[in-house]
Amino acid sequence: MHGLINKSIQSFLRDTYGEAVWSDVVLAADLPFGDFEAMLTYEDDITQRVLAAAAIRLGRPPEGLLEDIGTYLVSHANNEGLRRLLRFAGLSYEDFLFSLEDLPDRTRLAVSDLDLPRLDLRQQGVNRFRLTCDAGLPGLGHVLVGVLRAMADDYGALVMLDHLGEGQEGEAIEITLIETEFAEGRTFELGARAV
């Protein structure tokens, strides 16, 4: 697993729950180190052990924890750069949705050795979509639910999201866009400097 993914999990746990929780997770996951290095590669088993230890330590289902990580990636002040990258996708939440298929390629422009699974968005009807992500990163669908929910808030849209589970094509998420201008979205200026 790419170190950037592991470092994001570590940052989420530290920023959200504190250093003591991260230390407990390091011990429970039997890590031989206390910090992930963003540009290294780790065995997939290490990531799974960290997620399992965090879920047990926090008394949370792994799926809920993964969704919270997705929300953190977009909404926490430490991740303003990622939020800005995602907002470059368009003026509306629907524009953002249609840009998701390009996300793995855009990610590789920034981090060449980070291979995200292919994303496929299909319109199912008026304001209804299905997003499928190829198998490859276990739990990515739940992280995407958190990202999609946080980006809806960012755009001021009201959406209903349902993780449909994993099938032959990968994990699927049903997206219903209920209202495009439900609330005032967060300010975004194309030329603004990232914080």
- The per-residue DSSP string of 18-79 comes to -HHHHHHHHHHTT-SSSS--TTSB--HHHHHHHHHHHHHHHT--HHHHHHHHHHHHHHSGGG
Whether residues 47 and 139 fall in one domain? no
Task: Determine the pLDDT at residue 185.
Answer: 58
Whether residues 96 and 36 fall in one domain? no
Give backbone dihedrals phi and psi of 129, rounded to 5 degrees, phi first. -140, 160
Whether residues 9 and 89 fall in one domain? no
Q: Nearest Cα to 188, choosing from 152, 154, 149, 151? A: 154
Burial of 81 (0-12, 13-18, 19+ CB in 10 A): exposed
Whether residues 172 and 118 fall in one domain? yes
Q: Examine residue 132 and state whether it is found in any structural domain, yes or no.
A: yes
Q: CATH number, domain at 157?
A: 3.90.1520.10
> In 3-state terms, what secondary structure has residue 1?
coil
The dihedral built from the CA positions of residue 5, 110, 150 and 18, taken in this order, carries a sign that is positive
Whether residues 78 and 169 fall in one domain? yes
Q: Examine residue 192 and state whether it is found in any structural domain, yes or no.
A: no
Q: Examine residue 142 and state whether it is found in any structural domain, yes or no.
A: yes
pLDDT tens track, the chain, 195 positions = 888 999 999 999 999 999 999 999 999 999 999 999 998 999 989 999 999 999 999 999 999 999 999 999 999 888 877 887 787 777 889 999 999 998 888 877 777 777 788 899 999 999 999 999 987 777 889 999 999 999 999 899 999 999 998 888 889 999 999 977 765 656 656 555 554
Q: Does the pTM of the predicted model rise above 0.75?
A: yes
The 10 Å Cβ neighbour count of residue 76 is 16
> In 3-state terms, what secondary structure has residue 192?
coil
Task: Determine the pLDDT at residue 184.
Answer: 67
Q: Examine residue 68 and state whether it is found in any structural domain, yes or no.
A: no
For β-strands 170-179 and 119-125, DSSP reports them as unpaired
Domain hosting 158: range is 73-179
Q: Examine residue 146 and state whether it is found in any structural domain, yes or no.
A: yes
The domain tally of the chain equals 2
Whether residues 129 and 165 fall in one domain? yes
160: its two tokens:
């209903």
For β-strands 119-125 and 128-133, DSSP reports them as antiparallel
Give backbone dihedrals phi and psi of 74, rounded to 5 degrees, phi first. -100, -35
Q: Examine residue 66 and state whether it is found in any structural domain, yes or no.
A: no
